[in-house]
């Protein structure tokens, strides 16, 4: 599951930033740093990777997945790029802008839940065994979004709409 590596890179870069700052941040600032690195780093990597594999190499990507290639991949690649742009904008636009970033991530997450669930069901209907990688992706997607949401509630100003 490559997504675990990407999430880990975001965690690692957050720890590096906190170390460079001498680990002097308070709890809310630590949460802010970790969440920002998930937005900007992890989702930035997803954006660049998704754009490359779906826009620049659509046939190769479709073949690897066992799916037909088509123009939908270009749309998907650009939507992933938009996700990354939202994450990078979170560097400069903070406060409740981050709710918008989270909503964008939720929608992206729902697309993952949908496709992974459909793959599990398709394989089961075809008489195959349960694809535990797909099930793991579903669980990870839910847990990841719950953790990001919880982190955002630990940061003053994210959920205030005054």
Residue of 83, 85, 106, 84 whose CA lies nearest to 152: 106
More confident residue, 72 or 151: 151
Domain residue limits, the chain: 2-153
Q: Is the pTM of this model over 0.85?
A: yes
Query: Residues 125-141: pLDDT tens digits?
Result: 888 888 888 889 899 99
Mean pLDDT for the chain overall:
91
pLDDT of residue 67: 77
**Cα-based torsion angle of the residue sequence 124, 127, 129, 133 in order, rounded to the nearest 10 degrees:** -40
pLDDT at 32 over 90: yes
Q: Measured over all CA atoms, what is the biggest interatomic distance in the chain, rounded to whole angstroms?
A: 56
Region of residue 128 (phi > 0: left; psi between -120 and 50: alpha; otherwise: beta): beta
Query: Residues 39-59: pLDDT tens digits?
Result: 999 999 999 998 998 899 888
Query: Residues 87-126: pLDDT tens digits?
Result: 999 999 999 999 999 999 999 889 889 988 998 998 888 8
pLDDT of residue 1: 67
153 close to 160: Cβ distance less than 8 angstroms: no
């Amino acid at each position: 599951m490559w997504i675990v590596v990407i999430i880990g890179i975001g965690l690692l870069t957050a720890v590096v930033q906190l170390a460079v700052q001498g680990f002097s941040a308070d709890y809310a600032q630590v949460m802010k740093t970790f969440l920002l690195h998930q937005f900007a780093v992890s989702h930035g990597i997803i954006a660049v990777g998704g754009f490359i594999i779906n826009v620049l190499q659509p046939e190769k990507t479709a073949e690897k997945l066992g799916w037909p290639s088509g123009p939908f991949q270009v749309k998907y690649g650009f939507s992933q790029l938009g996700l990354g742009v939202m994450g990078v904008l979170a560097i400069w636009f903070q406060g409740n802008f981050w709710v918008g970033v989270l909503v964008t991530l939720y929608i992206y997450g729902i697309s993952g839940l949908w496709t992974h669930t459909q793959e599990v069901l398709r394989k089961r209907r075809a008489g195959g065994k349960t694809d535990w990688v797909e099930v793991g992706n579903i669980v990870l997607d839910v847990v990841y979004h719950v953790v990001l949401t919880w982190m955002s509630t630990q940061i003053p100003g994210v959920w205030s709409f005054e």
